[in-house]
């Protein structure tokens, strides 16, 4: 109507537009004018028809419908008339009132709506549009349905879907509002309360109200969580640590909240703590080297050596996880917040009375509590241990493996050798319980005595052989044979073999008796020196090759040696590399070294072909 009104107020418009206005506004004209126009038009049509018929009869000329004078006789109606102006104003007011019933709304925004009805499946709302909207009842909490007549916030998705209905969502409106709230929590660093509802791969799902967030397993607590199911359906405060605007995902942390609280408690405790203070705590973790105790926001460590004045193998022998215990502060560092605790410090130190109870030379009885490579620890009373070093086990025997003779729990006697209460050390000995046989060794054996004994142990350098009930002798590897050179005594004897030997030396200071097997017979080397002369040619069999040269087997158990310096590259390539054990080769004597038990040889050059 406004548009038509504007058209009538423009008198300079072309006639055809005026004709349209006349036709559109004809309903506004009074009945008398209408009848008059109709009569006039009908009379003109009759006259025009008569003229047209005459023209057609006399002159078949086409009429010019584009001539503006064609409609010159049509009456023009102006809206400046009083009656038409009143009707126009009334219509404009009605239009404005009707349009005022609509809200200024658009798609994809949160709007306020009034609940006007609730059915079993939907909630009907009035959004101030031409039609009401329906929202699925599943988007509402059945326990907290809105009342009819109340206003709620909803999200307008579309004015019309494929069926012509308005698309609305209560959930999306709640999601958007809650998302903005949670972003504020993230930006401000404020904690947000949430409920852990289920486990997923890598962590847990937290309900923050409308929106769910992911809680990584590593962020669930300050300590490793053994069973995540214990946290389900429990409410905690969380810190929002990551916001993904694109995917609308949130990552939260409970650990950050706990650490902040622990830091406050830690700072408070560190300002009050002092060495010697007695505190209460709960054992929260046990390791091989000690136990960690929660002091109420701060962890302290009890080292394994501070559990007892005596020896323990593991902290679990004294405490268990979850135990509430009293501890004493023995050291702390405010900068690193590290606290060293002790249990044994809560009881009297038994070492303070040890010097009065145990004197050097006293014989004590105790149980073996630990066996090490270097000695045996025995407990002579609760919390007091002494060490029997491996060198204090026997006067004469070379003890290598203590576990072959002693077992943990065995009760043994020993003599006190040394006491140091300050260092909390007691040295004990077993061999001191008997007389030292070395004091009378020269009375029992002499150099040159020939005896028989059992091979007790083999080493790389020789063999230990029984000399007396308490003393062993040693046969070096070079003392087994006059002419054979060996790198290990196992080529001559085995452990448990009984052998004959002769005593060659007694070293009282070193407490050693040297034996020899080869000295039971005369040395063959004077005869060997006359038998092999420099330049003599002979045959021998290849035995083995060493880095230093080649071992050759000669007659009468004599070994020859070809130094590597006596072997040319061609000889090594053409002769030596193809030899196998037992192969015969032609040789030339270079020299005889009786002291080194060597017959030095070289390859006979006549065997080398060009």
**Is residue 460 pLDDT above 70, yes or no?**
yes
Q: Residue 234 — very low, low, confident or very high, per pLDDT cuts 50/70/90?
A: very high
Q: Residue 204 — very low, low, confident or very high, per pLDDT cuts 50/70/90?
A: very high
CA 469 to CA 444: how far, in whole Å? 11
**Is residue 44 pLDDT above 80, yes or no?**
no
What are residue 134's DSSP bridge partners? 124, 167
pTM exceeds 0.85, yes or no: no
Question: ∠ CA(543), CA(544), CA(546), 5° rounding?
Answer: 150
**Is residue 39 pLDDT above 60, yes or no?**
no
**Considering only the top CATH level, what class is 189-258?**
mainly beta
> pLDDT tens, 498-556?
999 999 999 888 888 999 998 998 888 887 877 888 888 888 888 888 888 888 888 77
- What is the bridge-based pairing of β-strands 450-458 and 462-466? antiparallel
Which one, of 580, 587, 520, lies nearest residue 555 by Cα? 587
Span 213-228, mean pLDDT? 88
Instruction: Count other C-beta atoms under 10 Å from residue 348's C-beta.
Output: 11
Instruction: State both tokens at 185.
Output: 């929590």
**Is residue 51 pLDDT above 80, yes or no?**
no
Best CATH choice for the domain 437-520 from the list 3.40.50.150, 3.90.850.10, 2.40.50.140, 3.40.309.10: 2.40.50.140
**Is residue 54 pLDDT above 70, yes or no?**
no
CA 85 to CA 78: how far, in whole Å? 10
Mark residue 189 as left, alpha or beta (left: phi above 0; alpha: psi -120 to 50; beta: remaining): left
Span 88-92, mean pLDDT? 63
CA 531 to CA 180: how far, in whole Å? 110
- What is the bridge-based pairing of β-strands 235-244 and 167-169? unpaired
Span 321-335, mean pLDDT? 89
Identify whether the C-beta of residue 441 lies closer than 8 Å to the C-beta of residue 506: yes
Question: ∠ CA(13), CA(18), CA(20), 5° rounding?
Answer: 130
Which one, of 345, 356, 246, lies nearest residue 303 by Cα? 345
What is the per-residue pLDDT for 571? 81
CA 85 to CA 5: how far, in whole Å? 9
**Is residue 238 pLDDT above 90, yes or no?**
yes
Element at 172 (helix H, strand E): helix 170-188
User: Phi/psi of residue 473, each to 5°?
Assistant: -110, 165
Span 345-367, mean pLDDT? 90
What is the per-residue pLDDT for 94? 60
Whole-Å CA distances, 432 to 29, 203, 217, 405, 429: 145, 65, 62, 18, 6
Identify whether the C-beta of residue 415 lies closer than 8 Å to the C-beta of residue 395: no
What is the per-residue pLDDT for 4? 40
Name the 3-class secondary structure at 214: strand
Same topology, domains 350-433 and 525-607? Answer is: yes
CA 143 to CA 601: how far, in whole Å? 110
Instruction: State both tokens at 399.
Output: 């003890």
CA 242 to CA 187: how far, in whole Å? 10
Span 376-384, mean pLDDT? 89
Best CATH choice for the domain 275-346 from the list 2.40.50.140, 2.60.40.1180, 3.40.50.980, 2.50.20.10: 2.40.50.140
Work out the widest C-alpha separation in the chain, in whole angstroms.
179
What is the per-residue pLDDT for 1? 39
**Is residue 6 pLDDT above 80, yes or no?**
no
What dotted CATH number matches 525-607?
2.40.50.140
Q: What is the DSSP letter of 337?
A: T
CA 146 to CA 152: how far, in whole Å? 8
> pLDDT tens, 478-505?
889 888 777 789 988 999 999 999 999 9
Span 593-609, mean pLDDT? 73
Could you identify the residue written with the tokens 């009293």?
326
Question: Which residues have a Cβ under 8 Å from the Cβ of 231 and sit 6 or more positions away?
Answer: 196, 204, 220, 225
Which one, of 508, 346, 521, lies nearest residue 443 by Cα? 508
Instruction: State both tokens at 59.
Output: 């002159």
Identify whether the C-beta of residue 207 lies closer than 8 Å to the C-beta of residue 192: no
Identify whether the C-beta of residue 200 lies closer than 8 Å to the C-beta of residue 214: yes
Q: What is the DSSP letter of 298?
A: S
Identify whether the C-beta of residue 543 lies closer than 8 Å to the C-beta of residue 561: no
Instruction: Please state the separation of Cα 300 from the chain's center in Å.
Output: 23
What is the per-residue pLDDT for 141? 80
Q: Residue 127 — very low, low, confident or very high, per pLDDT cuts 50/70/90?
A: confident
CA 268 to CA 289: how far, in whole Å? 28
**Architecture of the domain spanning 350-433:** Beta Barrel (2.40)
Span 100-128, mean pLDDT? 78
What dotted CATH number matches 109-174?
2.40.50.140
Q: CB-based burial of residue 50 (10 Å sphere; 0-12 exposed, 13-18 middle, 19+ buried)?
A: exposed
Span 245-270, mean pLDDT? 83
> pLDDT tens, 421-448?
888 899 999 999 988 888 888 888 889 9
Which one, of 344, 328, 338, 378, lies nearest residue 358 by Cα? 378
Mean pLDDT over each residue of the chain, to the nearest integer: 79
Identify whether the C-beta of residue 87 lies closer than 8 Å to the C-beta of residue 28: yes
What is the per-residue pLDDT for 17? 32
Element at 549 (helix H, strand E): strand 549-553
Start-end of H helices in 189-292: 255-272
> pLDDT tens, 267-305?
777 777 888 889 899 998 999 999 999 887 788 999 998
CA 106 to CA 567: how far, in whole Å? 104
pLDDT top residue among 609 and 154? 154
Show me where the domains of the chain are located. 2-99, 109-174, 189-258, 275-346, 350-433, 437-520, 525-607
Span 143-153, mean pLDDT? 85
Span 39-62, mean pLDDT? 43
- For 386-408, the three-class secondary structure string (H helix, E strand, C coil) is EEEEHHHCCCCCCCCCHHHCCCC
Q: Residue 97 — very low, low, confident or very high, per pLDDT cuts 50/70/90?
A: low
Whole-Å CA distances, 142 to 123, 126, 139: 12, 21, 9
Which one, of 519, 518, 516, 500, lies nearest residue 452 by Cα? 500
Instruction: Count other C-beta atoms under 10 Å from residue 450's C-beta.
Output: 10
What is the per-residue pLDDT for 197? 93
Q: Residue 235 — very low, low, confident or very high, per pLDDT cuts 50/70/90?
A: very high
**What single string gives the DSSP state of each residue in 90-154?**
HHHHHHHHHHTTS----SSEEEEEEEEEE-SSEEEEE-SSSS-EEEEGGGS-GGGPPPTT-EEEE
Span 36-60, mean pLDDT? 42
């Amino acid at each position: 109507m406004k548009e038509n009104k504007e058209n009538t107020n423009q008198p300079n418009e072309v006639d055809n537009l005026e004709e349209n206005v006349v036709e559109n506004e004809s309903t506004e004209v009074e009945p008398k004018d209408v009848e008059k126009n109709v009569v006039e038009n009908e009379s003109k049509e009759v006259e025009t028809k008569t003229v047209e018929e005459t023209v057609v009869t006399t002159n078949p000329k086409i009429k010019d419908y584009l001539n503006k004078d064609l409609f010159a006789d049509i009456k023009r109606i102006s809206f400046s008339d009083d009656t038409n102006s009143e009707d126009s104003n009334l219509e404009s007011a009605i239009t404005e009132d009707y349009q005022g019933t609509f809200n200024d709304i658009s798609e994809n925004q949160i709007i306020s709506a009034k609940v006007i009805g609730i059915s079993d499946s939907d909630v009907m709302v009035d959004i101030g549009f031409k039609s009401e909207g329906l929202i699925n009842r599943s988007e509402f909490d059945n326990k907290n349905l809105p009342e009819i007549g109340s206003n709620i916030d909803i999200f307008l998705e579309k004015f019309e879907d494929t069926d012509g209905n308005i698309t609305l969502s209560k959930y999306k409106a709640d999601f958007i509002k809650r998302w903005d709230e949670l972003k504020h929590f993230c930006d401000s660093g404020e904690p947000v309360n949430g409920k852990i509802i289920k486990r997923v791969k890598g962590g847990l799902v937290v309900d923050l109200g409308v929106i769910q967030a992911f809680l990584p397993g590593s962020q669930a607590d300050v300590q490793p969580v053994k069973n995540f199911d214990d946290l389900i359906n429990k409410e905690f405060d969380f810190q929002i640590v990551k916001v993904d605007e694109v995917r609308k995902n949130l990552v939260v942390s409970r650990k950050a909240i706990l650490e902040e609280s622990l830091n406050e408690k830690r700072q408070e405790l560190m300002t009050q703590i002092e060495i010697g203070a007695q505190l209460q705590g709960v054992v929260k973790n046990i390791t091989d080297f000690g136990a960690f105790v929660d002091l109420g926001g701060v962890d302290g460590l009890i080292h394994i050596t501070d559990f007892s004045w005596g020896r323990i193998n593991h902290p679990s022998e004294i405490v268990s996880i979850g135990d509430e215990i009293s501890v004493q502060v023995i050291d702390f560092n405010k900068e690193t917040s590290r606290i060293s605790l002790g249990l044994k410090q809560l009881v009297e130190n038994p070492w303070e009375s040890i010097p009065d109870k145990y004197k050097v030379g006293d014989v004590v009885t105790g149980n073996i509590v630990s066996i090490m490579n270097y000695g045996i620890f025995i407990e002579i009373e609760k919390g007091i241990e002494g060490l029997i070093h491996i060198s204090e086990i026997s006067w004469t025997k070379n003890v290598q493996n203590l576990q072959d003779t002693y077992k943990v729990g065995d009760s043994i006697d020993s003599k006190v050798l040394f006491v140091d209460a300050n260092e909390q050390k007691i040295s004990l000995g077993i061999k001191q319980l008997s007389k030292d046989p070395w004091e009378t060794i020269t009375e029992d054996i002499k150099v040159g005595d020939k005896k028989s004994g059992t091979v007790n142990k083999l080493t790389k350098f020789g063999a230990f052989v029984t000399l007396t009930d308490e003393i062993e002798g040693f046969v070096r590897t070079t003392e087994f044979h006059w002419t054979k050179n060996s790198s290990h005594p196992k080529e001559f004897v085995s452990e448990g073999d009984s052998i004959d030997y002769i005593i060659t030396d007694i070293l009282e200071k070193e407490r050693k008796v040297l034996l020899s097997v080869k000295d039971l017979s005369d040395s063959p080397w004077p005869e060997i020196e006359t038998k092999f002369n420099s330049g003599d040619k002979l045959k021998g069999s290849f035995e083995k090759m060493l880095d230093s040269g080649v071992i050759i087997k000669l007659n009468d158990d004599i070994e020859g040696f070809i130094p590597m310096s006596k072997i040319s590259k061609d000889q090594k390539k053409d002769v030596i590399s193809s030899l196998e054990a037992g192969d015969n080769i032609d040789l030339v004597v270079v020299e005889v070294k009786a002291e080194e038990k060597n017959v030095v040889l070289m390859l006979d050059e006549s065997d080398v072909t060009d």
